[in-house]
Amino acid sequence: MMDEQKTTLTTRIMAAMIVGALLGVFLSLQSPESPFVQEFLVEGVFSVIGTVFISALKMLVVPLVFVSLVCGVTSLGDIGALGRIGCKALVLYLLTTALAITIALVLAVSVSPGGDFIISGRGESFILSPPPPLSQVLTDLVPSNPIAALADGNMLQIIVFAILFGISMTLAREHSGRIIDFFGDLNGIIMKMVELIMHLAPIGVFCLIARTFTLQGVDVITPLAGYFMVVIAALLLHAGGSFSLLLRLAGDLDPLIFFKKLRAAMAFAFSTASSNATIPATLRAVETRLGVKNSVAAFTVPLGATINMDGTAIMQGVATVFIANVYGIGLGMGDFVTIVLTATLASIGTAGVPGVGLIMLTMVLTQVGLPVEGIALIIGVDRLLDMVRTAVNITGDATVTCLIAKSENALDRDMFNDPAAGVARD
């Protein structure tokens, strides 16, 4: 009875997402301007419940990441292992991002979206502040005030402070025994909070999806159908192809089991369009369902949510080709290499900056001499695409986490292969 009840939670989340999308499309087609739809449903019920749900998820992110990361570092015991895991994570995240944008460029060049696009002047205006210099990004990694970093939710600064705090606790173990036990107990309490909020997920997911599709509708896709479909195809190809091959070849892990156990977290990512807000669900999935030890997952998942942007890189690749086609500007092989390098490195250099996806795209367009104003052409469908690419981003986080855990002997293969593992906590 317990397994049946818990199994249906993931099913209810997926069902809520589908029903919410269908309802949103129906409302957008039937009565999009109705006061009842706009004021009572969209800006009332859907907005309030969806906002409360996202706030509840975000409420957990900072304490969960900080406490879980401190516990993970102290449980390693060997400080050298932390550096090894960090290097592996950084290399794998960069490689998957480079692979993602390469797939996007190959597909975009083959299909050539935007060749018949007519600029009608109805696109939204686009104003974006310039990206911060690399020197500022590097100096901002270390928090001058860790309390402020925790209050502001600055994820990179929180990660740096938590690692230093965990290392200090490990080195001063003779003085930190009770503190280590305290963090262990606190981590268990926070994970219980995650479970409580997960049980409200179907309602929150339904309202978020219904509101988005009511506002966006399907008519927004029509003028940009070619661009939209190429981005979706590249995202699906990378998620289903690249990650499956990496899991099978590099980790000797079954991709079907992986995707089945991660689908609830992917639904969270799709509905919230926020990798950071999905951290609680992603952490929970890789630890309780996929069998990754907290010592690895606590580091790689928050780091991936901050710097791993496979889905965003795919959007940038396709958007660059699309904008070049619209403006009739040819791109050579050197431009494509520049796009791959710029987008890959920018995913690290602009991590944690608000509007990071558009900032990265601005950098890419500038590097290859394309008009930045072209971004206004794709803003209309960006919200829908953002939902899909966020799901791809967290799938990449989980893939890299499993691969690193396998290489560090921190992956419980029996738990990974057991379809019932972690179901009691779903």
- Return the HEC string of the chain: CHHHHHHHHHHHHHHHHHHHHHHHHHHHHHCCCCHHHHHHHHHHHHHHHHHHHHHHHHHHHHHHHHHHHHHHHHHHCCHHHHHHHHHHHHHHHHHHHHHHHHHHHHHHHHHCCCCCCCCCCCCCCCCCCCCCCHHHHHHCCCCCCHHHHHHHCCHHHHHHHHHHHHHHHHHCHHHHHHHHHHHHHHHHHHHHHHHHHHCCHHHHHHHHHHHHHHHHCCCCCHHHHHHHHHHHHHHHHHHHHHHHHHHHHHHCCCHHHHHHHHHHHHHHHHHHCCCCCCHHHHHHHHHHHCCECHHHHHHHHHHHHHHCCHHHHHHHHHHHHHHHHHCCCCCCHHHHHHHHHHHHHHHHHCCCCCCHHHHHHHHHHHHCCCCHHHHHHCHHHHHHHHHHHHHHHHHHHHHHHHHHHHHCCCECHHHHHCCCCCHHHC
Q: What torsion do the CA atoms of 387, 392, 394, 396 make, to the nearest 10 degrees?
A: -170
Q: How would residue 354 be classed by pLDDT, with cut points 50, 70 and 90?
A: low
β-partners of residue 264 are none
User: Residue 6 has what pLDDT?
Assistant: 46
Q: How would residue 391 be classed by pLDDT, with cut points 50, 70 and 90?
A: very high
Range of the domain at 167: 2-425
Half-sphere exposure of 279 (CA within 13 A, CB side): 29
User: Residue 309 has what pLDDT?
Assistant: 86
| Interhelix angle 201-216/379-407, nearest 10 degrees | 140
User: Residue 253 has what pLDDT?
Assistant: 95
User: Residue 426 has what pLDDT?
Assistant: 47
User: In the predicted model, is pLDDT for residue 352 greater than 70?
Assistant: no
CA-CA distances (angstroms) from residue 145 to 178, 303, 412?
25, 20, 38
Most confident of 82-86, 292-296, 323-327: 292-296
CA neighbor of 137 nearest in space, from 416, 421, 350, 426: 350
Angle at 296 between CA 184 and CA 63, to 5 degrees: 45
User: Residue 92 has what pLDDT?
Assistant: 94
Q: What torsion do the CA atoms of 194, 200, 201, 204 make, to the nearest 10 degrees?
A: -130
By mean pLDDT, which of 72-86, 260-274, 306-320 is the weakest? 72-86
Average pLDDT, the chain: 84
User: Residue 132 has what pLDDT?
Assistant: 64
User: Residue 276 has what pLDDT?
Assistant: 85
Token reading at 322: 């699309």
Mean pLDDT across 248-274: 91
User: In the predicted model, is pLDDT for residue 313 greater than 80?
Assistant: yes
The residue ranking higher by pLDDT, 171 or 237, is: 237
- What domain count does the chain have? 1
User: Residue 131 has what pLDDT?
Assistant: 60
User: Residue 139 has what pLDDT?
Assistant: 82
CA–CA separation, 242 vs 15, rounded Å? 27
User: Residue 4 has what pLDDT?
Assistant: 40
Beta-carbon contacts of 339 under 8 Å, excluding residues fewer than 6 positions away, are 101, 105, 316, 317, 320, 364, 367, 368
User: Residue 123 has what pLDDT?
Assistant: 46
CA neighbor of 211 nearest in space, from 50, 388, 351: 50
User: Residue 122 has what pLDDT?
Assistant: 43
The answer to whether residues 314 and 105 touch, using CB atoms and an 8 Å cutoff, is no
Q: How would residue 355 be classed by pLDDT, with cut points 50, 70 and 90?
A: low
User: Residue 37 has what pLDDT?
Assistant: 81
Q: How would residue 80 be classed by pLDDT, with cut points 50, 70 and 90?
A: confident
The pTM of this model reads 0.84
Token reading at 250: 């590099």
Q: What is the CATH number of the domain that holds 53?
A: 1.10.3860.10
Q: How would residue 425 be classed by pLDDT, with cut points 50, 70 and 90?
A: very low
CA neighbor of 170 nearest in space, from 78, 81, 266, 284: 78
Q: How would residue 258 be classed by pLDDT, with cut points 50, 70 and 90?
A: very high
User: Residue 356 has what pLDDT?
Assistant: 67
Most confident of 30-39, 210-219, 300-309, 407-416: 407-416
Residue identified by tokens 């209309």 is 380
Q: How would residue 353 be classed by pLDDT, with cut points 50, 70 and 90?
A: low
CA–CA separation, 327 vs 320, rounded Å? 11
CA–CA separation, 374 vs 320, rounded Å? 9
Percent of the chain with pLDDT over 90: 29
Q: How would residue 39 be classed by pLDDT, with cut points 50, 70 and 90?
A: confident
User: Residue 238 has what pLDDT?
Assistant: 96
β-partners of residue 411 are 292
pLDDT 10s digits, 186-224: 988 988 888 888 888 889 889 988 888 888 777 767 778
User: In the predicted model, is pLDDT for residue 363 greater than 90?
Assistant: no
pLDDT 10s digits, 107-160: 999 988 877 665 554 444 555 556 666 677 678 888 999 999 999 888 888 888
The answer to whether residues 206 and 45 touch, using CB atoms and an 8 Å cutoff, is no
Residue identified by tokens 């018949």 is 116
